[in-house]
Amino acid sequence: MSNRIVTKRQLTDSIYLMEIEAPRVAKASNPGQFVIVKNDEKGERVPLTVADYDKERGTVTIVFQTVGCSTKKLAMFEENDFIMDFVGPLGQASEFIHEDIEELKNKNIVFIAGGVGAAPVYPQVKWFKEHGLDVDVIVGARNKELIILEDELKSVAKNLYVGTDDGSYGFNGRVTDILKDLVENQGKKYDHAVVIGPMIMMKFMSMLTKELNIPTTVSLNTIMVDGTGMCGACRVTVGDEVKFACVDGPEFDGHLVNFDEAMRRQAMYKTQEGKLLLKLEDGDTHHHGNCGCGGDK
């Protein structure tokens, strides 16, 4: 069954938003989960985090950056075109939706998004808003042109803090600088941080939140490749355990994730030789053998 593109928006030179008609996926979706998109019969599987969903309209929103052949082809699709496969929701939902609402009301939570990370942050913050909960949001990017979904986040956040690395818009500095300023200079106190963005940003943010004694959740959606646990790309060490971002996550304790290992694997997986070397190094733990999916059929 093909899925119709209801709306399409170009957010930056290389970032697009699409609202896809997918009633079954929309009905079952929760914040933190992802879908797998396949443009056509010859297209590759692309895992993309759910950026929003409307259960009544039966639509799911995705936001993607054109970094490879498949995403560049997807960007060429227009409204009312059809995508061949749109499968989901997959992965574990955000841990917060399982917590007691009254307990959540007593917590000060901050969401921190870097670049395209604003997309998966939005449905989580929206969920909090819909349940009468106020949260702060920090959004950062290299420059003003790369800030996305600012208006959408402003409509659901208690406070929205925007910054750019080059100082072209909002706070002059990185998201780590914004959080440090809020805590050390503005007297803010947070009980939990949710961080989503590039791996290097999540690494340094997790280092900072550990110093500030703020428990932290990160989303490792950026390292997923096939979304089933069979390719071995998103194998990551969390504490002393081997986990797979697509099956066990994508959210994990940021203070336990071995970011250096994950980024090394990410770089190696880009070459065929690197893939073979990782398979050799990992041995029996290379893929998630119990996912029950059978791979890409």
Encode pLDDT of 176-201 as tens digits.
Answer: 999 999 999 999 999 999 999 888 99
Q: What is the pLDDT of residues 123-181, one digit of tens each?
A: 999 999 999 999 999 999 999 989 999 999 999 999 999 999 999 998 999 999 999 99
> What is the domain range of residue 125?
95-219
Question: Would strands 109-114 and 192-196 be described as parallel, antiparallel, or unpaired?
Answer: parallel
| Secondary structure class of 11 (helix, strand, coil) | coil
Q: Which of 159, 194, 219 lies at the terminal end of a domain, its last residue?
A: 219
User: Contact at 8 Å (CB) between 147 and 122?
Assistant: no
> 293: annotated binding-site residue?
no
- Rounded Cα gap, residues 257 and 264, in angstroms: 13
- Alpha carbon of 167 to those of 141, 160, 162, 247: distances in Å? 10, 17, 10, 38
Can you give the pLDDT at residue 288? 52
* CB neighbour class for 124 (10 Å; exposed up to 12, middle 13-18, buried from 19): buried
Domain finish residue from 90, 110, 142: 90
Collect the ranges in the chain with pLDDT lower than 70.
1, 223-234, 249, 265-297
Query: Same structural domain for residues 125 and 155?
Result: yes
Which CATH number goes with the domain that contains 185?
3.40.50.80
pTM > 0.75: yes
Q: Are residues 124 and 196 in the same domain?
A: yes
User: Are 121 and 202 found together in one domain?
Assistant: yes
Amino acid at 155: S
Q: Which of 184, 194, 183, 192 is nearest to 219 (CA)?
A: 194
Q: Give, as one character, the DSSP assignment of residue 257.
A: B
Give CA–CA dist 101/238, Å, rounded. Answer: 28
List beta partners, residue 3.
83
Judge whether 124 is annotated as a binding position.
Answer: no
Establish if 242 belongs to a structural domain: no
What are the backbone angles phi and psi of residue 291, rounded to the nearest 5°?
Answer: -75, -20
Q: Are residues 134 and 200 in the same domain?
A: yes
Domain match, 37 and 112 both = no
What pLDDT score does 97 carry? 84
Whether residue 268 is contained in a domain is answered as no
What tokens were used for 243? 């986990």
Q: Does residue 23 lie in a domain region?
A: yes
Give the chain's domain count: 2
Is 234 one of the annotated binding-site residues?
yes
Burial tier of 181 (Cβ tally within 10 Å: 0-12, 13-18, 19+): middle
Are 108 and 211 within one domain? yes
Looking at residue 296, what is its pLDDT?
Answer: 31
Clarify whether residues 110 and 188 are in a common domain: yes
Residue with tokens 């950062």: 140
Are 102 and 211 in a shared domain? yes
102 in the same domain as 179: yes
> Phi first, then psi: what are they for 239, rounded to 5°?
65, -120
Among residues 66, 90, 114, the one where a domain terminates is 90
- Do both 101 and 193 map to the same domain? yes
Q: Is 231 annotated as a binding residue?
A: yes
Q: Annotation-wise, does 63 bind a ligand?
A: yes
Whether 120 is in a domain gets the answer yes
In three state form, how does the secondary structure of 161-188 look?
EEEECCCCCCEECCHHHHHHHHHHCCCC
Amino acid 43: pLDDT:
75
> Does residue 206 belong to any structural domain of this protein?
yes
Asked if residue 82 belongs to a known ligand binding site, the reply is no
Write the CB contacts of 224 (distance below 8 Å, at least 6 apart in sequence).
34, 47, 233, 234, 245, 246, 250
CA angle 197, 143, 67 (to 5 degrees): 55
**CATH code assigned at 81:** 2.40.30.10
| pLDDT computed for residue 281 by the predictor | 52
Same domain, 99 and 203: yes
Q: What is the mean pLDDT of the chain?
A: 83
243 within domain boundaries: no
In a domain, 189, yes or no: yes
How confident is the model at residue 231, as a pLDDT? 55
If asked whether residues 102 and 213 sit together in one domain, one would say yes
Task: Tell whether 253 is covered by a domain.
Answer: no
d(C-alpha 76, C-alpha 61), whole Å = 17
Are 34 and 93 in contact, with CB atoms under 8 Å apart? Answer: no
CB 60 within 8 A of CB 53: yes
